[in-house]
Structure 1
Amino acid sequence: MSKAKRLIDILLFVSAKKQFTAQEIADAFNISVRTVHRYLLDLSDMGLPIYAEQGRNGGYTVLSSTILPPILFTEEEAVAIFFAFQSLHYYRDLPFNTEMKSVSQKLYESLQKEAQKKVDSLQSYIAFWNPKRAISTPLLSDVLEAIINHSQLDIQYESKSGITTKHVHPIGVYAHDGLWYMPAIHLQTEKTLLFRVDRIHSMHVSDKGYETTVHLQQWLESPHEPQQPIRLHVELTREGVRQCRSEPNFEKVLVTNSNGTGYIDMMIDQGEIHFISSFFYRLGPDAIVQEPPELIQLLRKHAQTILATYPLDS
């Protein structure tokens, strides 16, 4: 029997048994105790967390029950997984960053030399590039652990109005454009609000649970009804249409005329006006806002601020 096959068999044996002695393995596989110790050192080097207890009655304990049995990948599958991890390379913070680096290294080292050359070559020609954010998200892993445990959170959250305390039940976290977001039920109002994880200054985990049937994927895919609905109507030039096609919030509701111009006519939440005003201000005369009047006033305020910053007599 090959050494690789023997190692796999011993890995499965100790993962299922959890606690064992070298003699038990020697008896089970008809090998010497000295050979068992060599195999256990090999498995430890491969990442199996084994704790050795010294003494007459000593033995071994597998510290983790999450070791998976060996999985056979084709070369193409291994390369695909390697580059899937590469697509997350530009996120500054990930809840499993260390593990991803470890898995990528193991995958790369498991490939044949020709496959490694293929990966090296592909890395010169393909990248899942995204501007790397300088913003740190130190509480990301803690937030994710609280979500998995269905915990409620008291968070100190920074917004335009300052730092306030929010009592929430998070639904999940998702990454978008280099940032991490946490949709959560605000327990005082029973409304689902969206928080940026990097703006959470501190958090306290409550043991209290919260029953909800809302799951993250459902929340992401379902249309979100505005809490304070207001009509957004914007007339667009051809260039305005082209710009709005690149904006996820407007891409699906954009209506294009036969001459290439178009318009947006939809209901939004009044709280979104400040967020979208900078986008339409950037489009200038290529996006003429018809409604709401609050957005028009905000665009005028933006323009007046710029004019005051750069007066004609300067």
Structure 2
Amino acid sequence: MAKSRRLVDMLMFINTKRTFTAKELAEEFGLSVRTVQRYLLDLSELGLPLYSEKGRSGGYRVLKNRILPPILFTEEEAISIFFAYQALQYYHDLPFDAGIHAALQKFYVYLSEETKKKVDKMSAHIAFWNPKRNLDTPYLRELLEASLAGKYVEFLYDSQTGQTRKQVKPLGIYAHNGLWYCPAYSCDKQKVLLFRADRIHSLKVLEKDENMSLTLKGWLETEPVNSQPISLKVTLTHEGVRQCKGVPWLENHVKVARDGNGYIDTITDGNELNYMASFFYTLGAHAFIEEPQELIEKICYHAEETLRHYKNEAGTKDE
């Protein structure tokens, strides 16, 4: 058997055993103990994190996490994985211990020379980009582990009204637009609430647990339930259509006419009027709200507040 093939077989065997002796490997593969030790040295140089324990009952132990057995990728698969993994480097924190640059470098080393040249050339022309945020999100791992274990957590959360204490059951975490989010079930509200992970402080995992059929994937794929349904009707210019198409909660509700203008006619959640007012206010004349009236009033209030602010600033400078 070729040495390369024997190394692969030995690597897969070690990955299942975790702790072993050179004698066990020698018996398993029909080799001498000295040959096995040379093979282990080769595997260690390739990146297998081995720890040698001295003494009569000593042996070898694989450090840290289990390693993956060799996987054969096509050139296109390898390139797509390389660039997709690069997207993680834009996140300030991750829920797992992984050095992005070290992992990418390790992946890059084992690419063929031809593939390396292709990756080097493509690096200047493609990126899975996210806005680079410098917000600390120290509890990503705790949120993820609590969701996996079905545990509740308690934390302080920065909301519009200040810091409030929450007891919730996380469904998981997801990344979007450079930020981490955690949907979690609240017993008090009897529904799933969405939290920004960077606004979570002083988290602790509670002993309380509960089996729930709802998962993060299920929640993301479920249409939101409007607890206070109201009619939303908006006329949009071409630019208004473009802006609304780029917003996840609106893109499926935008109808486009032949001239490029459009409109929205749907049912939405009245509890989100403040958020909607802030969004449509930024569109200015590119969106005309027909209903609800309360949304129109909130947008007018935003405009009046802005006008009053700048008038006050102008008056202060005149004095």
| Global fold match (TM > 0.5) | yes
SS of aligned partner of 1:105:
helix
Q: Contact 1:15–1:65 (CA<8 Å) still a contact in 2?
A: no
**Counterpart in the other structure of 1:245:** 245
2:135 corresponds to 1:139: no
**Counterpart in the other structure of 1:287:** 287
Q: Deviations over 1:121-147 (max 9, x none)?
A: 110111122221222211112211111
Q: Please list every run of 5 or more consecutive structure 2 residues that lacks an aligned counterpart in the other structure.
A: none
Looking at structure 2, the residues matched to 220 and 101 of structure 1 have their Cα atoms a distance apart, in angstroms, of: 30
Q: Contact 2:253–2:264 (CA<8 Å) still a contact in 1?
A: yes
Greater displacement, 140-149 / 237-246? 237-246
**Counterpart in the other structure of 1:4:** 4
Identity %: 50
- Residues 1-314 of structure 1: pairs in structure 2 closer than 5 A: 1-63=1-63, 66-96=66-96, 98=98, 100-311=100-311
CA shift at 1:187, angstroms? 1.3
SS of aligned partner of 2:225:
coil
Cα gap change, 1:210/1:111 in structure 2, threshold over 3 Å: closer, same or farther?
same
Looking at structure 1, the residues matched to 271 and 46 of structure 2 have their Cα atoms a distance apart, in angstroms, of: 52
Looking at structure 2, the residues matched to 189 and 234 of structure 1 have their Cα atoms a distance apart, in angstroms, of: 30
Looking at structure 2, the residues matched to 240 and 287 of structure 1 have their Cα atoms a distance apart, in angstroms, of: 6
Greater displacement, 201-210 / 24-33? 24-33
Looking at structure 2, the residues matched to 21 and 229 of structure 1 have their Cα atoms a distance apart, in angstroms, of: 66
Q: Please list every run of 5 or more consecutive structure 1 residues that lacks an aligned counterpart in the other structure.
A: none
Looking at structure 2, the residues matched to 5 and 209 of structure 1 have their Cα atoms a distance apart, in angstroms, of: 47
Q: Contact 2:88–2:100 (CA<8 Å) still a contact in 1?
A: no
Q: Deviations over 1:42-87 (max 9, x none)?
A: 3234343333221123222334673332222223222221112123
CA shift at 1:289, angstroms? 1.5
SS of aligned partner of 2:129:
coil
Q: Contact 2:86–2:100 (CA<8 Å) still a contact in 1?
A: no
Cα gap change, 1:133/1:63 in structure 2, threshold over 3 Å: closer, same or farther?
closer
Greater displacement, 139-148 / 227-236? 227-236
CA shift at 1:3, angstroms? 3.2
Cα gap change, 1:18/1:176 in structure 2, threshold over 3 Å: closer, same or farther?
closer
TM-score, structure 1 normalization: 0.91
TM-score, structure 2 normalization: 0.89
Q: Deviations over 1:8-66 (max 9, x none)?
A: 12212323333322223234434443332232233234343333221123222334673
Aligned residues: 314
Looking at structure 2, the residues matched to 247 and 28 of structure 1 have their Cα atoms a distance apart, in angstroms, of: 58
